[in-house]
Structure 1
Amino acid sequence: MTTQTKRHRWTRWAGAALAFALVGGAAWHWQRSSIPDAKVEPAAQAATAEPDLLRYPAGSAQLQMLRVVEAHASGVPVAGALSARVAYDEDVTAKLGVSYSGRIVAVRAAPGDHVRAGQVLAEIDSPDFGTARADVDKAAADLRRKRLATQRLRDLATDDGIPARDLEAMEADLSQAEAELIRAQQRLRNLNPHALRIDGQRLKLVSPIDGVVTERSASPALEVAPGMAAPLFVVSDTRRLWLIIDMPERLLARVKPGAMASVESDAYPERRFSAQIMQLGQAVDPNTRRVPIRAAMSNTGGELLPEMYVRALLLQESGKGFRIPNEALVNRGVQQFIFVEEATGSFRRRQVKLLAQGSDASYVGDGLTEGERYVTAGALLLDAELTARAAAKP
C-alpha cells in the first residue's frame, strides 16, 4: 500500500468521523433543548481550562445519554473472529450399536437423560444370542463326555494294554472339544461384553461411561443388526467439548498447540468462553484454503451444545489488552481516543494504542488500565462537545 493511498484512507476516515461527530453534537444539543426541566450547564461553562476534560453536574441531560463500563484485561487476538463449530469430545463419547441381530423389546433411556456407566439403555431379544448360548451348552456337554471317555481309556490302557494310538486319538478329540468350548464362550462374551444377567435370549445394551444421552435412534420393536448407519444411542460427557475452528492458512505460523482462544456465541452475547488449542490440521482444504484446528473447552454449565456455530478469537501467546466496543473509540486522524470517567460527571479524553480491530469490538493497550471506567455509548457526543467548545474559543 503506497503512502498516498494510506493518506487518502486516513483522510476519508477523519472526514467521516468529523461528520459523525457534528451530527452527534447536533443531536445532543437538540436533546438538551428538548428537556426544559433538566439542569444543563454547557461544557464551555465548566470550571476547567483543560482542553480534554468535561464536567457535568448531577442530573445533567448529557449524563443520561452516556453508558459507562469497567475495563478488564484480556488476551489479544492474532486476527479477527473465525468461524467455528462445537463438537463432541470423542474421548468421552460412546456411539453404541450392536454386534448381533435382534429386535428391541424395551427402551430404558431418553435423550437428555443422565446415565451412569453400566446403566441399561435398552433390552434386545436376539436369536443370535440364543444360538450362541446353545453352542456353549453343547460344547460344554461334549467336553464333559470326552473327558470321561478319555479317563476310562487311560484306566484301561494301564490294566489291559490298550494300543497307544487309540489313547492318542481320544486325547486329540478332548483337545478339540476344549477349543470348541473356548470359541463358543468367546462368541458369547462378544455378544454380552459387560456380562450382565441374561433372561433367556434377551440382552441388555448398557452405557460404558457416565454422561448424557444426546442422541437416540432406538425405538420399541426396531429390528437391529451389525453395521447400522446410525448408532442406537450416543452417550457423551458434555462437560467437555471440542471446538473445530476454520483457520486461514496465513495464520499457521502464528498459532501453536497450547494457545488459548476466546469463544463467542449468538446464544450468549454477553458471555466469553475459553478454549485451548490441542491440534492443528495436517492438510489445507483446497476449496476454502483453511486449516481445521481442534481445541478443547470446558462446558460445566451446559450452555454450549454440539453442532452449535460460534466465533473464535485466537489469542496471542503473550500480551494483554482491553476489549472495548467500537462505539467507545473516537478516531481523530491516525489516532484513537476514549473517554475515561475520572469522577462522577467528569470525563477525560485519552489517547489509546490500538492493538487489534474487529467489526464489533477492538483491543487497546496503553491509555487504559484495569478497573478504570470508560464511556461506550455517547463517546462521539462527548467528542463533539469538546470540538464545539474549542471552536467557541476566541
Structure 2
Amino acid sequence: MAYKKKYALVAVAGIAIASGVAWWMQRQPHTASSASPAASAPGAAPAPAPSASGAAAGGQRAPAVEVAKVAQLTLVDEAQSVGSLRSRQGVMLRPEVAGRVKAILFAEGQRVSKGQLLVQLDDQLQAAQVAQAKAEMSIAEANHKRNQDLVSQNFISKRTVDESAAALDVARAKLELAQATQQRLKIVAPFDGVTGLKQVSVGDYLKDGADIVNIEDIDAVLVDFRLPERFQSKIRPGLKAQLNVDALPGRPFTALVQAVDPLIDANGRSVGVRGCIDNRQRQLRPGMFARVNTVFGVRENALTVPEEAIVPQGGRTFVVKVVPGDKPDTLVAQRVAVKTGVRQPGKVEITEGLEADDTVVTAGHQRLQKDGTPVRVVDLAAGRGPAAGASAPAAASSAPAAPPVAASERPAARPAAASATVPAALSGPNPCQRG
C-alpha cells in the first residue's frame, strides 16, 4: 500500500513540474514581445510608430479619381443597315401575241435606246391584213368623194353621203386595227438600257407571255433597305447614305434617299427606304449586297465626354464635375445633371449641363458620396516611361512617309481603270436627280 502511494506522489510531482515548464515556455514569448517596446522605446521605436500613424492618416486623405476634359468633336448622327441593289428600271420583254421568231436584232449585253426594234416575229398574215384594209379604205374614200360630188349636183340624197362617210370610217378603223396587230409582232425597247441574256433563238415559236430578254436601266441603281421604326422621324427624302459593297471592297458609294415607305412593317417594326446611286461608271450591278450607313445629320463642335463619366440614377443622367474648392489649390466634386445626345463608341454627346473644357470624373465615382468632397486627381499618363513618349514621335514621323506613297499610287490607278468603263453620258446630269 505504501509502495503505491510512493509512485502516486512521484507521478503528481512529475505532472506538476511538466505543467510548470509548459507554462513558463508559453509565458516567455509574450513577455519578450511585451518587453521589447519598453526596451526599444528610447531609441529605435519612433520610426515604426509614425509609419503606422501615417497609414492611418493616409486613409483620411482626399479620394483619388481619374478625370477627363469635355472635348469638342464633329459628331455624325447615323444608322447602319443592310440592303440590296436593283435597277432603276428593269423589265422582261414578252410578246403579247403568239408567233414565230423571224429575226433577233440585238446582241446580248448591248446598250439599246427607247423604241429600238429588238425582235421581229413572223408577220406575213398581219401584213396581208394591213394591205387588205388599205385597199378597202381606198375604195371607201373614192366612193365617199364621188358621193360628195353627186350630192352637190342633187343626183343623190344626203343620206347616201352619210352612209359613205360611215363606211369610210369603218375602213379606216379596220386599217388601224390591222396595223396595231402587225405592230404587236415587233418587240421594241421600252426605255434606254442594257439587254441581258436572250432566252429565244430565230425560228422559235413563242406563246404570248414567253420570256425573250430582260432590259435593265443601270445608269442609276436603286438600293432598298430597312431601318428600325425609331428612325422614321429622322429619315426623309434628300438625305445621303454611304454604301459599301462586298463585291467592291474599298470603294464607297453615295446614295440619295428618294422615298420612304409610309407603311411600317408590323413583323419587324421597320420602315422601308429607297435610295438612288449614280452608276454611270457601271461599277454596280442589280442584286448586289450592300452595307448602308444613313447619315441623318452632322453636328459641328459637339460637346462630348467619355462614356465612363456618365452616371445614370433614378431615370436621370449625371456627371461628376471637378471644380476648384474654397481653399487654394484644392479640388472638389460637384454632381451635375446633364442631357445626352448622340452616342458613339467610347463617346457620349452632352447637349445640356456642361461647357467646353470642363473636367469630369471618369473613375472613382463610388468614393464621392456628396457634393463638395475634396478629390485628388490621378494622372495615369504621367506614370508612363519616356521611352513610350520617345517612340511615339518616331512612329509619328515615320508614319507619314508610307501613306503618301500608297495614296499617290491609288489615284493614278483608279482613274485609268474608271476611264475605260465610263460611258460618254457621264458628263450629263446625275440620273438620280432627273425627274
Deviation per CA, 1:171-217: give whole Å up to 9, x if none. Answer: 23322222223323433453466xxxxxxxx9543334332113533
How far apart in 1 are the matches of 2:182 and 2:344?
58
The 5 Å alignment of 1:210-221 reads 210-214=192-196, 216-221=198-203
How far apart in 2 are the matches of 1:265 and 1:365?
30
**Distance verdict in 2 for CA 1:128–1:295, change over 3 Å:** farther
Deviation per CA, 1:339-383: give whole Å up to 9, x if none. Answer: xxxxxxxxxxxxxxx96558xxx99999xxxxxxxxxxxxxxxxx
Say whether residues 1:115 and 2:97 are aligned partners.
no
**Distance verdict in 2 for CA 1:261–1:153, change over 3 Å:** same
How far apart in 1 are the matches of 2:270 and 2:174?
51
How far apart in 1 are the matches of 2:116 and 2:74?
43
How far apart in 2 are the matches of 1:218 and 1:363?
60
- Could you tell me which amino acid in structure 1 is paired with residue 126 of structure 2? F
Quote the offset at 1:74 in angstroms: 9.7
Contact 2:148 2:161 in 1 (8 A): no
The 5 Å alignment of 1:347-366 reads 357=344
Quote the offset at 1:387 in angstroms: 10
Q: What count of residue pairs does the alignment treat as equivalent?
A: 254
- Could you tell me which amino acid in structure 1 is paired with residue 85 of structure 2? V
Structure index of larger Rg? 2
Contact 2:127 2:182 in 1 (8 A): no
Q: Which runs of 5+ in 1 are unaligned?
A: 1-72, 194-201, 322-330, 336-353, 367-385
Structure 1 runs of 4+ off > 4 angstroms?
Answer: 331-335, 354-358, 362-366, 390-393
The 5 Å alignment of 1:235-384 reads 235-319=215-299, 357=344
Quote the offset at 1:303 in angstroms: 1.4
How far apart in 2 are the matches of 1:149 and 1:88?
58
Deviation per CA, 1:249-268: give whole Å up to 9, x if none. Answer: 22101111111111111111
- SS in structure 1 of the partner of residue 250 of structure 2: strand
- SS in structure 2 of the partner of residue 239 of structure 1: strand
**Distance verdict in 2 for CA 1:392–1:105, change over 3 Å:** closer
Q: Return the TM-score normalized by structure 1.
A: 0.53
Deviation per CA, 1:263-312: give whole Å up to 9, x if none. Answer: 11111121111011111112122322222211111112211111212111
How far apart in 1 are the matches of 2:182 and 2:343?
58
The 5 Å alignment of 1:121-270 reads 121-126=118-123, 129-130=126-127, 132-147=129-144, 150-151=147-148, 153-154=150-151, 158=154, 162=156, 164=157, 167-168=158-159, 170-191=160-181, 204-214=186-196, 216-226=198-208, 228=209, 230=211, 232-270=212-250
Q: Return the TM-score normalized by structure 2.
A: 0.49
- Could you tell me which amino acid in structure 1 is paired with residue 98 of structure 2? S
Partner of 1:87: 86
How far apart in 1 are the matches of 2:260 and 2:137?
54
**Distance verdict in 2 for CA 1:74–1:128, change over 3 Å:** farther
Quote the offset at 1:114 in angstroms: 1.8
**Distance verdict in 2 for CA 1:218–1:317, change over 3 Å:** farther
- Could you tell me which amino acid in structure 2 is paired with residue 222 of structure 1? D
How far apart in 1 are the matches of 2:108 and 2:279?
18
Quote the offset at 1:147 in angstroms: 2.4
Report which of the two has the higher share of helix.
2
How far apart in 2 are the matches of 1:221 and 1:189?
23
- Could you tell me which amino acid in structure 2 is paired with residue 275 of structure 1? A
Contact 2:140 2:167 in 1 (8 A): yes
Quote the offset at 1:154 in angstroms: 2.8
- Could you tell me which amino acid in structure 2 is paired with residue 252 of structure 1? Q
- Could you tell me which amino acid in structure 2 is paired with residue 126 of structure 1? D
Contact 1:136 1:181 in 2 (8 A): yes
How far apart in 2 are the matches of 1:75 and 1:304?
30
- Could you tell me which amino acid in structure 2 is paired with residue 83 of structure 1? V
- SS in structure 1 of the partner of residue 165 of structure 2: helix
Q: Which runs of 5+ in 2 are unaligned?
A: 1-72, 311-340, 351-380, 389-435
Q: Comparing both chains, which one has the higher relative contact order based on Cα–Cα distances under 8 Å and sequence gaps of 6 or more?
A: 1
- SS in structure 1 of the partner of residue 263 of structure 2: coil
**Distance verdict in 2 for CA 1:98–1:284, change over 3 Å:** same
- SS in structure 2 of the partner of residue 121 of structure 1: strand
- Could you tell me which amino acid in structure 2 is paired with residue 84 of structure 1? G
How far apart in 1 are the matches of 2:138 and 2:107?
42
- SS in structure 1 of the partner of residue 137 of structure 2: helix
